[in-house]
Amino acid sequence: MGGAFNPIHSRHLMVAQCAVDQLEVDRVLFVPSGQPPHKKAGMLDKEQRFEMVAAAVADNPFFEASRLEIDREGITWTIDTLKQLAAIHGPAVRLNFIIGEDNLVVLKNYDRRKEFLSLCRLVVSPRATTDAALLAHWQQELPEADLVILDCPANEVSSTLIRRWIAEGKDVRYLVHDAVGVILKEKKYYAATEAPEAATDSGAATASPAVADDSAPVPVPAGPPVSEAPAHP
């Protein structure tokens, strides 16, 4: 699981735990992006983001922070990460790729989709509730995919929301792991550093540029799938 993790938050951890509980994966790798193809404005340095990921997963034996993309030189593409994991773990280990439902459209239009899907099973995290119709829809849209949808509670927590709340001086203690909250406070990540600019003659204040949320997914290696389990680039 992964992406920018700018910052990692409670939904990331909840989805990963759902994968552990429902699919009996051996472990979930959290792989922060190193140098993504399109760097987002306001993104923290990769080592700063990795520090928070490592802190967030340290107390769960099924979770592991991975430096695969942090340490790789140049642009980091998820398909290359999948290939690297396959080479490391060999054919005996099944790779699962945890992906947010909103990113399936991106994957559908990816020009290397067939190659990508040959490397892993898709584990989809829905934003709303899980139902049979959702699974059937994406099986039709991605017919070559081995695909399963996690049963996760609806949750609108996002990195964008957390960054905005911090900039507004709000408390995010229940949106991030306690260890991440300590880092955010001590290092003042995402905190507003300047007073808002004065309103223009038209009465409209000048706003800070919007920052896109981190949503690029990253793979998790797993053991053999359980028979009774439901069937960025």
Kindly report, residue by residue over 124-176, the tens digit of the pLDDT: 998 776 677 888 899 999 999 999 999 998 888 999 999 999 999 999 999 99
3-state secondary structure of 185: helix
What is the structure's pLDDT at 128? 73
218 is a domain residue: no
205 is a domain residue: no
What is the structure's pLDDT at 57? 98
Counted residue by residue, the chain has a size of: 233
61 is a domain residue: yes
CA 91 from chain centre, in angstroms, equals 25
What is the structure's pLDDT at 193? 64
150 is a domain residue: yes
From residue 187, alpha-carbon distances to 89, 159, 190, 218 in Å are 36, 17, 9, 26
The alpha carbons of the chain give a radius of gyration, in whole angstroms, of: 18
Q: Provide the CATH number for the domain around residue 184.
A: 3.40.50.620
What is the structure's pLDDT at 232? 45
Only one residue has tokens 């990921």, namely: 53
Residue 34's closest CA among 76, 83, 66?
A: 76
Q: pTM here?
A: 0.82
229 is a domain residue: no
233 is a domain residue: no
CA 85, CA 29: separation in Å to the nearest integer?
A: 10
202 is a domain residue: no
217 is a domain residue: no
Full domain range(s) for residue 184: 2-130+144-192
Counted domains in the chain? 1
Output the tens digit of pLDDT for each of the chain's 233 residues: 879 999 999 999 999 999 999 999 999 999 999 998 876 778 999 999 999 999 999 999 999 999 999 999 999 999 999 999 999 999 999 999 999 998 999 999 999 999 999 999 999 998 776 677 888 899 999 999 999 999 998 888 999 999 999 999 999 999 999 999 999 999 999 998 644 443 333 333 322 222 334 444 444 444 433 323 333 46
What is the structure's pLDDT at 129? 66
